[in-house]
Structure 1
Amino acid sequence: MGDLAGPPVISTAGLTKHYGTVHALTDLTVEVGAGVTGLVGANGAGKSTLIKILLGLLEPTSGRASVLGHDIEHDSHDIRRLVGYMPEHDCLPPDTSASDFVVHMARMSGLGASAARERAADVLRHVGLEEERYRPMGGYSTGMKQRAKLAQALVHDPRLVFLDEPTNGLDPAARTDMLRLVQRIGTDFGIAVLVTSHLLGELERVSDHVIVLDGGHLLRSSATGDFLRRTGRMLVEVVGTETERDRLGQALAQRGLTCRPRGTMVAIDPPASDVAVHDLVRDLAAELGLGLMRLEPDRGHLEDVFMEGAPRA
């Protein structure tokens, strides 16, 4: 888990970045610990701006920040030596093989020729490009290009990696594989990870801690488990189409329960009176001739943070 009890991996205080009248970040004060931290927000929320400031590629308008104990204003060179960075946009030379590219990036990070080749082969194997490493990257699929970008971010054995939208453009299967790799970096490799995404649900699966940005403001920062707490609502799913789902929802409403469709399921709010919801759902499903597939507690999701309109920090 992202352990904020130890020294923070990243710390910001009042960090602000304005482009004229555009406020990319406003008074951001947050700490990031070890493990995998998800940085979540819609496009334009300030995620990429924050990473570029932490890397010393952008100068903040005001505020302070440190990365691995190094001040961003005075120690940006040291920070870039200790950190790996996977940018969001495609930046790979198309006529170069992944092996040559990752070896080159390792040499740029200060590794000798032999060590660079060894590390490149090792990290390309870890990201699943071992058999494709000698092909020109211009012929790679989007998923392979993302893996090559991830490999160059890891090749110099950094203490922290910034992964900017690593699942961008991937199909569902490739997205799942990438998220599994991200989780391994934080657990098996022991490297701290700050990973960004505008897809809120996917970071619930791999992050120990989540930071939510909205329009450059900090909306919330807490352990992932705190987001996924029980809400008191119940979710019920029956066999069939939306028609069967709605039949059950209408019957529950007639019994005084507040409910609404949630995808293929019916979400039931906590009852005002002492109603045995499980028994009522079971009995109504039987009465209506519906097959009951599942009945389970609802848990919070990252989307709920935005829907609740939480106060900005």
Structure 2
Amino acid sequence: MPAIATQGLTRSFGPVTALSQLTVEMPTGVVGLVGANGAGKSTFIKILLGLLPPTSGTATVLGLDCLSDGLKIREVVGYMPESECLPPDVSATEFIVHMARMSGLPTDVARERTADTLRHVGLYEERYRPIGGYSTGMRQRVKLAQALVHDPQLVLLDEPTNGLDPAGRDDMLELIRRISADFGISVVVTSHLLGELERIADHIVSIEAGVLQHSTSTAAATEFSGMMLVEVTDRGPEVVERLHALGAKVTTGAQAHSFVVAIKDEQVLDDVRSVVVDLGVGLIRMQRGRHHLTEMFSTPQEALHG
């Protein structure tokens, strides 16, 4: 059973259509939801949480109908909003205990779960400080903790790395990876930073102006591109000329001694090795290329991971 499934999901606000005939399945694991501001992501999340009815179509979360089972969905789903929404004058412990109790946990269980969750997100030592004195990264961790405290089966994370520096983004991405890998919680994470999603997501869904653009596994989106970067020590133009003569498709760039070769079959690999041996030049690298997720949102091009 998919974590999330929609069929013809549409939501209009007067003359504006936020979602249009969205039919998609999101598997368990980590799913990256991509879309620019105004693409319909926030509307989609509100529908999934049972907070906003669709104009037409259907949506299910963990097999529960979003239109009729909103309360049940919110019992088993955690949500981390993008907006700044934390009370500054209470401690993380007080806030998370309150959120746990609102989720239906008894007070003693709520306190125990709060301590465990704050330890998991790295805030245990700072748990009694007022949230108003927290850094941006710490506040993001508090928002993540309140989404996890009631032990959900699925969490919806809206731009969880927003406002973080590179080190903070790395820490947050590692937390998200652990949520799925170590605790078996499915995750849907929205982000406009495709490199982040490429690192942690098993599946990518992109929407634009409320319309589905792509739904694919990350492995399929980043498969080998059929191109190979070759770098030699010297005599690069001669190597390229020899390869052209052998029928290889070679693309040169600004660097005289590096170029890209199309891999039409395994013979081209032998041709490269033979040419560099015949010319007596050194072969620095032959690197098989992979596609980048960014190619899904731009003009098709060959991409190489460095």
Same fold (TM over 0.5): yes
For the 8 Å contact 2:231–2:259, the answer to whether it is kept is: no
* Greater Cα offset, 170-179 or 45-54: 45-54
Residue number among 293, 298, 304 corresponding to 2:295 in the alignment: 304
Q: 1:205 to 1:262 in 2, by over 3 A?
A: farther
**Which residue is equivalent to 1:161?**
155
Contact 1:251/1:284 (8 A) holds in 2: no
Please give the residue correspondences for 1:1-313 in structure 2 after superposition, counting only pairs within 5 Å.
7-236=1-230, 252=240, 256=244, 257-259=249-251, 268-270=260-262, 275-276=268-269, 278-279=272-273, 292=284, 294-307=285-298
Residues in 2 aligned to 1:187 and 1:308: alpha-carbon distance in whole angstroms: 34
Q: Which amino acid aligns with 2:293?
A: L
Structure 2 portions without partners, runs of 5+ = 301-306
What do you get for the CA RMSD once the two structures are aligned? 3.0
Structure 2 residue identity aligned to 1:55:
L
Q: Distance in 2 between matches of 1:35 and 1:103?
A: 27
Deviation at 1:105, TM superposition (A): 0.3
1:96 aligns to what SS in structure 2? coil
CA distance in 2, matches of 1:127, 1:94: 19
Shift of 1:272: 7.0
Q: 1:281 to 1:208 in 2, by over 3 A?
A: farther
Preserved CA contact (<8 Å) 1:36 1:192: yes
Distance 2:278 2:16 in 1: 54
- What is the CA-CA distance between 1:171 and the residue it aligns to? 1.1
Q: Is the 8 A contact 2:243 2:275 kept in 1?
A: no
Aligned length: 293
CA gap of 1:104–1:231, structure 2 versus 1, over 3 A, is: same
Does structure 1 retain, via aligned residues, the 8 Å contact 2:227–2:288?
yes
Provide the C-alpha distance between the structure 1 equivalents of 2:91 and 2:123, rounded to a whole number of angstroms.
11
1-structure distance, mates of 2:210, 2:127: 39
Could you tell me the TM-score, scaled by structure 2's length? 0.85
- Unaligned stretches of 5+ residues in structure 1: 1-6
AA of the residue aligned to 2:291? G
Contact 1:253 1:259 (C-alpha < 8 Å) held by counterparts: no
Q: Is contact 1:252–1:281 with CA below 8 Å preserved after alignment?
A: no
Q: What amino acid is aligned across from residue 53 of structure 1 in structure 2?
A: I
Q: 1:250 to 1:110 in 2, by over 3 A?
A: farther
- Report the Cα offset of residue 237 of structure 1: 6.3
Pairwise CA distance, 1:280:
7.7
Change beyond 3 A, Cα 1:261–1:171: farther
Per-residue CA deviation, residues 183-233 of structure 1 (Å, 9 max, x unaligned), is 111110111111111111211111122112223221221221111111101
Percent identical residues: 56
Q: In structure 2, how many angstroms separate the alpha carbons of the residues matched to 1:133 and 1:157?
A: 19
Give 1:147 shift: 0.6
Q: What is the deviation of 1:20? A: 3.5
The 1:194–1:255 alpha-carbon spacing in structure 2 relative to 1, beyond 3 Å, is same
Contact persistence 1:259–1:266 (CA under 8 A): no
Contact 2:228-2:263 at 8 Å conserved across structures: no
Contact 1:248 1:284 in 2 (8 A): no
